[in-house]
Structures are given as C-alpha cells and as structure tokens.
Structure 1
Amino acid sequence: MGLCFLGSSAIWGPSNVSGPEGGSLSVLCGYDATFKTYNKWWCRGAVWRPCQILVQTTGSEQEVKKDRVSIRDNHKNLTFTVTMEKLRKDDADVYWCGIQRTGTDDGVQMTVSVDPAPTTVPTTTTTTTSTVPTTPAETTASAGRTGHLSDGRGHGAELSIPGCVSPTLCVCVCVCALVLLFLVSSSLLLKHDMRVPTRGHS
C-alpha cells in the first residue's frame, strides 16, 4: 500500500480524534469523486504497510460492521464514516482512513485517544419519620374512659362501663349493692323462721 498524507487530493481526514472510555467516537473522512465506488477501509498501526485493516466497505453505501467497529460510505457527500464503540484504553493508537486501489492504496493518518471515564458520585437518600407525641392530658383522659382486661393471649381487651366516670368507683358501688342485697335477704329469712309455730310433743 502506498502512502498519501493529510491534505492529499485523493483522501483527507482529521489529524486527531478522541472519545470517552466506554463511549464511542466517529471519524469522517472525505475523498475525491474519482473513488466513489472504491472500497474504503479503516486500518490500525503506526506503520503504513503492516497496519491491520479492521473493517472495509464493499463499494456500496451499505454499512459494514465487525466487532466494535463499523464503516459506512456516502457516495452523495463523497465521505465515509468510521465508528468505534465501547472504547477501551488500549484502543488509543494510530489509525488510517484508506481507499483500496489497484496497485497502490491511498490513506490518511490520524491519532485516536481515549479519555478517562467520568467518575460519578453515588447519591444517598435519607428518609425522616416524624411522630406526634401524646400529651399527659390525653393519656389521663383515655385511662379515665376505658379499662383493659387480658384475653389470656397477651392481647389487651378494652372494657367500657357505661355511665361510670371511674371504673374503681363503679366496682365499689356494685360490691355495696351486693352486700346490701345479702343483708336484706338474711333479714327476711330470719323473720320467716320466727313466724313458724313450734309443735308440742304428745
């Protein structure tokens, strides 16, 4: 393959291109109308003749892709585009845009560099939970309205006594009522026994 430097009338392109690590880059190379239907290629290596052709067109405008590199010719604009994807650090090197010709190929040299991948700072999300405190007045009022009994399984069961301001007072009233009922009953039984006449022995 012969060598055609940057600025040649046959083919031209940028002298330096770069892309981010993990990203992609595109190289646009132009050529003379004489070579519209000629095959175009993308070659890697600082030395012209032993450079490695990575991808090459077939003389049409159809895209050709091989591994992470693709090439597409545009006959109307007289340009072809090379795209390198998923860039790695070791992709940095000297490359060539070239035209395949009978006898001697034409090409233009350029340097490809890979920029370090951007660093990202992880973000953390903090969730705040707020609770409304219970005032002593609310606690006292609740205790005055309801009592708690155990249902035998460790769960509390609420006991409400209608008409009672305090459960303790209601219990005392009930006990007093029962005692009074017992005394009245005992008095009635005693009076009944006194009214029954005793029988004499014959």
Structure 2
Amino acid sequence: PDVSVVNSSVSGHEGGDISVQCLYSYAYKHKLKQWCRIEDKSCYTVGKTDTSQNPLVKISDDGRSSFTVLMTGLRLTDSGWYCCSVEDMQAVVQLTVTKPKQAPTTVPAATPSDFEKDM
C-alpha cells in the first residue's frame, strides 16, 4: 500500500502519551502529510507550526518513508478513529485512552519480631 501504519490499534492511559508511525511510499515524499481525527475531520499537518495546531500533537517526518505522530497529555475524549493521510491516501488507526490503573495499596509485611511481641 502507498500509505500504512505500523499499528492500526493503539492504546494509552489518561495523561500519558502514544506514538503512531505512518509509512508512505517514496513517491509521496514531497506530498502533504496529515494526522486527522475522523470524527470531527480535524487534521494536524507535517511541518505546520501555526497556533491552530494542538501543542499536544507533534508530527515529525523523516523525509524518506515515514512520519511519526506523538500525542501527549492524553484525555479520555481523545479516544476514537484517526488516520494517517498522505495526499488522498489514508491508513486508519483506532486510539483507545483508558484511566490509569489504581496502584494497589501496600500492606506492610509482618516481621518475625511482630509475632514475638505477642507471645
């Protein structure tokens, strides 16, 4: 395929970050590359740095055959369908953001001296 992704299903925790690697054929080296949220058609463009771009989404193009999307500070509402887009070619990615697991509460281990005190 002219455009593909390394992983078509990506998951992360709220507050964490994920990266997606989008691959494209050499013929598309100089074409417009974007990361788009399908639901609301919002897109982030490689090489564009104006203030309308979300600072939590960074896209870097290696200039050869792939560009990488880094999303930081994930929110639960970021879950959904996205696509790597190069010209009119697309590869779809499903992003799932979950709440971080609660750390288990640790109970101090009983030491032999604890038992000796009771005797």
**Which residue identity lines up with residue 84 of structure 1 in the other structure?**
M
Q: Within 5 Å, give how 1:40-189 maps onto structure 2.
A: 40-46=33-39, 51-53=41-43, 55-58=44-47, 66-76=54-64, 78-100=65-87, 105-121=88-104
Report how far residue 118 of structure 1 moved: 2.4
CA distance in 2, matches of 1:58, 1:24: 20
Counterpart of 1:66 in 2: which secondary structure? coil
Larger CA Rg, structure 1 vs 2: 1
Instruction: Give the stretch that moved more between structures: 13-22 or 82-91.
Output: 13-22
Which among 18, 22, 30 is matched to residue 29 of structure 1? 22
Instruction: Point out the structure with the larger helix share.
Output: 1
CA distance in 2, matches of 1:119, 1:58: 38
CA distance in 2, matches of 1:21, 1:58: 27
CA distance in 1, matches of 2:107, 2:4: 50
How does the TM-score come out when normalised to structure 1? 0.46
| Structure 2: runs of 5+ lacking an equivalent | 109-119
Report how far residue 122 of structure 1 moved: 6.2
1:18 maps to what in 2?
Answer: 11
Report how far residue 39 of structure 1 moved: 2.0
CA distance in 2, matches of 1:38, 1:93: 26
How does the TM-score come out when normalised to structure 2? 0.76
CA distance in 2, matches of 1:89, 1:112: 10
Report how far residue 123 of structure 1 moved: 6.5
Report how far residue 51 of structure 1 moved: 1.8
Q: Pairwise CA RMSD of aligned residues?
A: 2.4
Report how far residue 92 of structure 1 moved: 0.4
- Identity score, percent: 30
